[in-house]
Amino acid sequence: MVLVDHIRCAYCGSCVSVCPVGALDLAETRLLVDQSCTDCGLCVSVCPTGALHTEPFRDIGAGGTMWPLRRRYDLIVIGAGPGGSIAAREAARQGLSVLLLEKRQEIGSPVRCAEGIAHEQLIPFIAPDSHWISATVTGAEFTVAGDDGRTETTRGEGGSGYVLERRVFDRVLAEQAASAGAEVRVKTAATALLMDGRAVRGVRVRSPFGEAEVESRVVIGADGVESRVGAWAGLDTTLPHQDTMSCAQFLLAGIDIDPACTCYYVGMDVAPGGYAWVFPKGERRANVGLGVQANVAGRPALDYLVRFVESQPHLAQGSPVTLVTGGVPVAPQLSRFVTNGLMLVGDAARQVDPLTGGGIANAMAAGRLAAEVATECIAAGDVSVAALSAYETRWHAGLGRKLARRYRLKERFPPSERASRECMRVFIVAVGGK
Ligand SMILES: Cc1cc2nc3c(=O)[nH]c(=O)nc-3n(C[C@H](O)[C@H](O)[C@H](O)COP(=O)(O)OP(=O)(O)OC[C@H]3O[C@@H](n4cnc5c(N)ncnc54)[C@H](O)[C@@H]3O)c2cc1C
Ligand code: SF4
Ligand code: SF4
């Protein structure tokens, strides 16, 4: 049976159509081969990435080397989300040699986000640009569903904000990092940290061209909610079950909405422990999703989402053209997110707003701060945990303090009280409403 190298496979589907016995099936993110394969080898020659073999794998890369990578950088950033790209961009602008690694083949895709961000959160990092803004929003509507089934809706000014096109936004940030001098590599995953005793001294990377060890003075783990980098370095990054928001979202097309208004729905029946949102993406389409608190929702988020859409006549008329799923860490920040030679930023450090689940702006702020501290420490020749802790200290003195307060507020209201007037007042302020 033909063998698939899933590291190399880019899910293009070229092989499927040449197979005479229909043994190949391109599942959404995986090529499957079934027993009917006769080992004829036809598919092997059409594969553009060399991912198919009729014999056990041999390394067909350029002698097992990466496509040109230096042996050593000042800084390696793992993950090209908003946190990682801003860290790479800022460090490169300060003159550091920077490698930015992204395991996916396309930065920003698949999207795992409702894409909302406030104007004042965005502009410290990048000037708004219509290429990656789907909608500008000025109003917000809040609907509370009580246990008796009655709903109450209030409408107010939401402050100025945007619904992004993150597929483009994330890529533009990585392009800015590259323009500043960082080397960016896609389809290149960090698979382990290189350690010198208890100090991080680099990263083991795997790409379609093979595996390599790359050294650096500092590593920034910006590897998102699925982060493993911190744990590799011995940091406790376990996400408590009750602090995990399980989310599902459709991009619904063909719906009647106000394209300048974000809508929020709160109630135990709608989204236990969380909320539902309708974020416009321009005329007649919107990100319609919800997050449920994993330990109190009896069913998967997707089930709640389908029920929610069906309950809203103006949404039920639409068609889902994209399904997004993901987890959001609405958790206390990690007690430590720095160790010798390593810093964590963004979702990897649980730097998400525990009330709203918003994390784009926090990740960018953390990325900038981590780059600033890395630059100072490298210049001073000290990247020990004591030196890099300046990042933790500055974080806790600024945004970290706000997020800690938000977590305490979240804890004050158990899931069954999230629809109370008092909790709604807190929530409305947190999402930037008035
Ligand atoms: C359904 C949903 C809706 C959301 N809505 C909003 C919203 O409206 N507004 C908002 O502000 N936030 C929202 N968020 C949260 C927001 O998406 C995240 O907080 C934000 O993306 C965090 O940025 P980041 O850079 O830390 O991580 P990410 O954006 O997750 O980027 C991490 C990157 O690291 C890469 N990576 C992981 N492991 C490796 C590895 N080993 N090697 C190389 N690369 C690796 C990943 O592929 C990924 O590209 C939402 C999240 C979800 C799931
Ligand atoms: S080796 Fe031949 S039979 Fe097997 S999957 Fe490829 S094309 Fe199909
Ligand atoms: S042709 Fe190659 S890259 Fe494309 S789906 Fe098949 S194995 Fe994957």
- Determine how many CB atoms are found less than 10 A away from the CB of residue 50: 13
Q: Residue 62: its pLDDT value, please?
A: 41
Contacts of 381 (CB under 8 A, 6+ apart): none
How far are the Cα atoms of 191, 201, 218, 374, 385 from residue 340, in angstroms, in the given order? 19, 9, 8, 12, 4
Q: Please name the residues in contact with 254: beta carbons below 8 A apart, sequence gap of 6 or more.
A: 284, 285, 317, 318, 319
Q: Is the CB of 222 under 6 A from ligand 1?
A: yes
Burial class (CB in 10 A: 0-12, 13-18, 19+), 295: middle
Q: Pick from 377, 1, 394, 401: which is nearest to 199 by CA?
A: 377
Residue nearest to atom 2 of ligand 2 (CA): 40
Written as six digits, the tokens of 298 are: 């009896």
Q: How far is the CA of 42 from the centre of ligand 2 (A)?
A: 6
Whole-number Å distance, alpha carbon 1 to ligand 2 midpoint, is 8
Of the ligands numbered here, which is closest to the C-alpha atom of 18?
Answer: 2
Closest ligand 3 atom to Cα of 16: 6
One-letter amino acid at 315 equals L
| Domains along the chain with CATH numbers | 3-53 (3.30.70.20), 72-109+168-239+331-397 (3.50.50.60), 131-161+241-330+426-430 (3.30.9.10)
Distance 222 CA to ligand 1 centre (A): 9
Ligand 2, atom 3, lies closest to the CA of 37
pLDDT tens digits, one per residue of 303-312 = 999 999 999 9
Q: Which ligand is nearest to the CA of 13?
A: 3
pLDDT tens figures, 326-374: 999 999 989 899 999 999 999 999 999 999 999 999 999 999 999 999 9
Structure confidence at residue 57 (pLDDT): 61
User: Which residues are near ligand 2 (CB < 6 Å)?
Assistant: 2, 18-19, 21, 23-24, 33, 37-43
List the structure tokens of 107: 């930065």
Chain centroid to Cα 416, Å, comes to: 28
Q: Which residue CA neighbors atom 2 of ligand 3 most closely?
A: 47
* Cross-strand pairs, 143: 153, 265
Q: What is the CA(6)–ligand 2 centre distance, in A?
A: 16
| CA–centroid distance, residue 381 to ligand 1 (Å) | 31
Nearest-atom number in ligand 3 for the CA of 46 is: 1
Cβ neighbours of residue 337 under 8 Å, at least 6 residues apart? 230, 235, 343, 344, 345, 348, 349, 391, 392
Ligand 1 centroid distance, CA of 428 (Å): 23
Print pLDDT tens along the chain (434 aa). Answer: 999 998 889 889 999 989 999 999 998 778 999 999 999 999 998 888 889 998 776 554 444 455 678 899 999 999 999 999 999 999 999 999 999 999 999 999 999 999 999 999 999 999 999 999 999 999 999 999 887 778 889 887 667 899 999 999 999 999 999 999 999 999 999 999 999 999 999 999 998 888 899 999 999 999 999 999 999 999 999 888 889 999 999 999 999 999 999 999 999 999 999 999 999 999 899 999 999 998 899 899 999 999 999 999 999 999 999 999 999 999 998 989 999 999 999 999 999 999 999 999 999 999 999 999 999 999 999 999 999 999 999 999 999 999 999 999 999 988 888 888 888 888 888 887 65
The confidence score (pLDDT) of residue 63 equals 41
Tokens matching residue 69: 């990578």
Nearest to 329 by CA among 306, 363, 367, 300: 363
